[in-house]
Structure 1
Amino acid sequence: MCVRELQMPSLGLSLTAVDAGVLTALQPGQASLLLFLSSPGGDTVAGTGVILPFSSTDPVPGACNMEFNLDIDPNVYIHYNLYETTIRFAPANLGYERGETPPVCDESIEPSTRWRLQYDVYQYFLPENDLSERSLFSGIQAVADIRGMKENGKRVMTLLSSDVSMAVFNSIPGQGVVYSVIVRDPRLNTSASYVPVHTYACSFASTLDGCQTLGKISTKVFFTITGLAGLVVCFFGHRFFKCVRLALSAVIGVVGGVLLVMSWWRFGSVMACIVVVGLMLGFLIASTVLFTPLGDINVFRQSDVVFWVTFCCIVIIVPLFFVRWPREGNIATCGVVGAYAVILAVNAYIYTSLSFITLNILKRLLNNNFSAMFTDVPFQTTDYIMISVWVVLGVCGIVLQLYRERSRPFFPPSPYLMWLQERERRKTNVLDPSHHFPPLPNRLLARVRQLTRRMEPAGEHTPLLL
């Protein structure tokens, strides 16, 4: 009887990680291979395994590894934070026959070496609002090989061998994403897949950035109130113009809000408010335009100047139309922005990618390196439903307000101007009973004088005339 002692594999032959894979070169005549899988803590875990064969003409993923633990490392390593998700992988090498010496990795950069290889980075979104293991395993199995990833995933970029083997994406907490890299040999027209890796941009074991704590009660309460306010603004925003100005005060600050209110109260001018309202709609329109695949064009990703100039131009153009049609512009803003607030409220309960329309702009503003990221987000059934809700609410709100306000003044009159007109009317209209009463300031002054006047002593001071 032969007893084989189990030993821990040495460095370069073992790996402890999630979504880990091992690539082994078979020797001539070898028909079997033993691989050992264990849980570091001894706990029972669920997993799925996929075996992928490679031929001698296929590239060898991770064969030119100079950074990670395995000698041949076909894994994709992932790191995420609140802003970005970064994937890194080791360069591949050309294929070779069994028993032969692998080609040298960095001896030269001739087309006959591994420098002719190209790397396609793919992205696959798991179903929204689904954090189950079943969904994850089904997704991994669907894109584990080259054919599955090409059919179900989306190629987001192609890297050359001279590029840094790294890609940066926008973090989407709570949304499952599978990343994979397919290395291609354009001369032999062959390819091989790295081991797919997944992330939810949150932790299932931590409470700080836990996936289960994304929907906090305070967040839901805040966005619920925001959604209700947005619903009122969508259908009644123009009629309650004073309330809209109050909301603008909250947006632009106390000083700006006071200036807006005073310009309307004293001079009856609503143009300052209309300009701010137009900028709000312009901000949402510009964010929506750059939320589309247009925002991932290289000129916008590589230059912050081009991005922000384009963004500001779109924002500024919108208020120019409001100068000519102020009432229609204010109603349109109430409908569109109010309906979007409702979408944000729904996002607090059911994930939707539409929340990233404005969130991506804020991320780029706060993070200097955000421009280098790909901002793709999943568009699935929930998102199309939310787009329909947004459009229906916005159109209904605009049409209803235009119909209701068609025979009313464009905007509420200035309180100060109304007071001046009322005072002038009292002066000129002698039939008005209020004409015979002095104004309130005069009455108050007379009352004060009466209270402070010295009382005359009682008695007769002049002789009676007989």
Structure 2
Amino acid sequence: MFHYYFNHYDSDSRTYFDGIEKMLTVEDIRNVSRLVGKDLGYQKHNRMFSNYRGRGRAFVLIASYKGRSAAYVPAVSYGCDAMNWKYDCSELSSEFWKVCRAVLLILGGLLCFQGHKMFRLTMFLIGFIFGVLITFIVVSVEHASHNGYGLISLLIGFFYGVFWLFVWWKFGVPLLSVQLTMILSGGLIASITMNQLGDYNAFALDINYWLTFSCIVIAYMIIGVAVMMHGHIVSCVVIGSYAVIAAISYYIDGNMEFIFVNFFRRVVVKNFGYAVLDPPFLIFTDTFLCIMWILLFLVGVKLQSRYQRNRSPFPPNRNVSLERPLSETTPLLYSEAYPSPPEYSATP
């Protein structure tokens, strides 16, 4: 089986018929389309594909026998109701989601270039992101449709952010506070990796997929903890740069958001491991986004590392500072037996 992507968000009839025309002969099909590589035995006659709303594509089957091949009539799908294009095929086109994308762009930039410097803000944002993701996933598992749950996810995410900021304020343990940032960035790196490997037969089984996914996250966290400050900087830049690229991708019709979309579907959609991922990739748009992503990552790491040079790895915890006021006469080695510095006399 082969499939061929049309131009993004193009419902023009000329594009439709041009796409079908390219899928009529065996030679043209093999030249312009992509071969579906996953063959899972009993699943090969009932193929499932990851749906990319508004991305039109043609599907065709080539039958071969004794060195001869013939193509079936192609079928076309836009992954939505093409007769109701404006409301059903324009993904996340409501005003609410447009505002969310703009906010994502701004906050992603802050994490990318100022994440470690603005440590307390980062703690809140990371907790907020984690809360939104967990809530949205739980809601989507419990309900087939997640319409109307965006505001609920944002509200619960806000409380998650406040809670994680409180954890830093109360305990002031960097090793504890940076774990959530590393989990999210490790999960993003694992999602990128599995998005490329997801069409291999071995990863159709959930145990193989999630075991590999978990190993990538754990390995990243071990390396990050070994160099905690730099690990936190890299984690902030990874998350922030992807947020910026995903937001820009929405405005220029790119495909970077499908990295998260396929991970999300793997969590909530039953038997999604048997679906063919093979996301669309625009040569100019997506290549530009990839190059921009790399540049953002390098610049973000460079700027944050340079700012932290000759500075304390992590900011002081406010709660500890309030409990133990610091001054010029505060002993370097603090002890409960000597809570205050000794008195010195000006005369011998």
Q: Determine what percentage of the aligned residue pairs are the same residue.
A: 29
Instruction: Map residues 14-413 of structure 1 onto 2, 5 A cutoff.
Output: 121-157=1-37, 165-185=45-65, 187=66, 189-206=67-84, 210-212=88-90, 214-253=92-131, 260-292=164-196, 294-301=197-204, 303-380=205-282, 381-413=284-316
TM-fit CA distance, 1:258: 5.9
Q: CA deviation at 1:216?
A: 2.2
TM-score w.r.t. length of structure 1: 0.61
Shift of residue 149, structure 1, vs aligned partner: 0.2
Contact 1:124 1:177 survives alignment (8 Å): yes
Cα deviation, residue 318, structure 1: 1.0
Mapped partners of 1:153, 1:216: distance in 2: 33
Matched residue, 1:87: none
Residue 430 of structure 1 deviates from its aligned partner by 7.3
Task: Give how far 1:271 is off.
Answer: 0.9
SS at 1:411 equivalent: coil
Question: SS in structure 2 opposite 1:206?
Answer: helix
- Does the residue aligned with 1:205 lie in a helix, a strand or coil? helix
Evaluate the alpha carbon distance shift between residue 277 and residue 407 of structure 1 in structure 2; reply closer, same or farther with a 3 A threshold. same
Amino acid in the other structure paired with 1:416: N
Q: By how many angstroms is 1:259 displaced?
A: 5.9
> Which has the larger displacement, 252-261 or 240-249?
252-261
| CA distance in 2 between partners of 1:211 and 1:163 (Å) | 28
CA distance in 2, matches of 1:332, 1:184: 50
Q: Relative contact order (C-alpha < 8 Å, sep 6+): which is higher?
A: 2
| SS of equivalent residue, structure 2 residue 198 | helix
For each residue in 1:199-234, what CA deviation from the matched residue of structure 2 results, as whole angstroms up to 9, or x when unmatched? Answer: 111123237962246522221111111111101111
| Residues 168, 156 of structure 1: alpha-carbon distance in 2 compared, 3 angstrom cutoff | same
Counterparts of 1:149 and 1:352, CA distance in 2:
24
CA contact (8 A) 1:204 1:212 kept: no
SS of equivalent residue, structure 2 residue 2: strand
In 1, Cα distance between the equivalents of 2:130 and 2:272? 25
Moved more, 135-144 or 204-213: 204-213
CA separation of 1:160 and 1:363: change in aligned 2, threshold 3 A: closer
- Counterparts in 2 of 1:139 and 1:208: CA distance versus 1, 3 Å: closer
Q: Where in structure 2 are there 5+ consecutive unaligned residues?
A: 132-157, 331-339
Provide Cα deviations, 1:161-213, integer angstroms capped at 9, x if missing partner: 9876321111000111111001110x2x1111111111111123237962246
Indicate if the aligned counterparts of 1:260 and 1:272 stay in contact, CA closer than 8 A.
Answer: no
The answer to which structure has the higher helix fraction is 2
Deviations 1:291-322, CA, capped at 9 Å, x for gaps:
11x21110111x11111111111111111112
- Aligned equivalent of 2:154: none
Q: Is the 8 A contact 1:328 1:402 kept in 2?
A: yes
AA partner of residue 166 (structure 1):
N
Preserved contact between residue 59 and residue 74 of structure 2 (Cα < 8 Å): yes
Deviations 1:83-109 (A, max 9, x none): xxxxxxxxxxxxxxxxxxxxxxxxxxx
Mapped contact 1:181–1:194 kept (Cα < 8 A): yes
- Contact 1:177–1:198 (CA<8 Å) still a contact in 2? yes
Amino acid at match of 1:396: V
Deviation at 1:363, TM superposition (A): 0.4
Partners of 2:38 and 2:200 within 8 A in 1:
no
Larger radius of gyration: 1
Q: How far apart in 1 are the matches of 2:185 and 2:2?
A: 35
Size of the aligned set, in residue pairs, is 307
Shift of residue 260, structure 1, vs aligned partner = 4.1
Deviation at 1:336, TM superposition (A): 1.5
Partners of 2:230 and 2:305 within 8 A in 1: yes
